[in-house]
Amino acid sequence: MFIHKINDDLSLKLIELRDGERVFELTNKSRVYLKEWLPWLDITTNLEDTIAFIKGCLKSFAESNSLNAVILFKGEVVGIAGYNNINCSNKTAYIGYWLGEEFQGNGIMTKVAKTLTDYAFNELNLNKVEIRAAVGNKKSRSIPERLNFVNEGCIRQAEWLYDHYVDHVVYGILAEEWN
């Protein structure tokens, strides 16, 4: 099992089926807030949807294609972060994340993204880490910017959010730039 301690208050733990109730509760509590930038809220309407998501995460992890972890802050699940995709042939990981609304503003996600980037380079021996965020999602974009990722450009109409498209900014950092 993957568990990675970041500091005394913060850890990442491979998502498990037993996390389902808490993840769904957190999703439900932050539904309106999360829906502004995440496209999956309308298809996550009950615990079974969350369990299906977790099963998919575990299958993908077993196939070495991704790593999705719950974020533990002071022992409580407060969000999800990880590698939405690991491309082994290109040695690239794509970080994705979300945090419950009430846990915003504590520097949690910057520490998590930094840890995931370190892990990608130092443990998985990858060459590149990418983070993509909607152009208007200033909170999400500030994380790779704080970590000195390079703005590599914009993908037009990259994602459908319920009733409109959003453009994505692609941020990347290479192993040689990180260390």
Strand partners, 93: 86, 129
In the block, residue with structure tokens 């846990």: 103
Give the C-alpha distances (Å, rounded to integers) separating 46 from 33, 77, 105, 117, 127. Answer: 18, 18, 28, 32, 38
In the block, residue with structure tokens 């301690």: 5
User: E-assigned strands of 15-75?
Assistant: 67-73
Residue 179: helix, strand or coil by DSSP? coil
Name the pLDDT band for 1 (thresholds 50, 70, 90).
low
Does residue 2 surpass a pLDDT of 80? no
Task: Tell me the two tokens of residue 69.
Answer: 């972890």
Distance CA 85, CA 64 (A): 9
Quote the mean pLDDT of the chain. Answer: 96
What domains are there in the chain, each with its CATH number?
Answer: 3-178 (3.40.630.30)
DSSP class of 17: G
In the block, residue with structure tokens 């037993």: 18
Kindly calculate the radius of gyration of the chain based on its CA atoms and give it in whole angstroms.
Answer: 15
Distance CA 73, CA 75 (A): 5
Name the pLDDT band for 3 (thresholds 50, 70, 90).
confident
DSSP class of 37: T
Name the pLDDT band for 10 (thresholds 50, 70, 90).
very high
Q: For 136-146, what is each residue's pLDDT tens digit?
A: 999 999 999 99
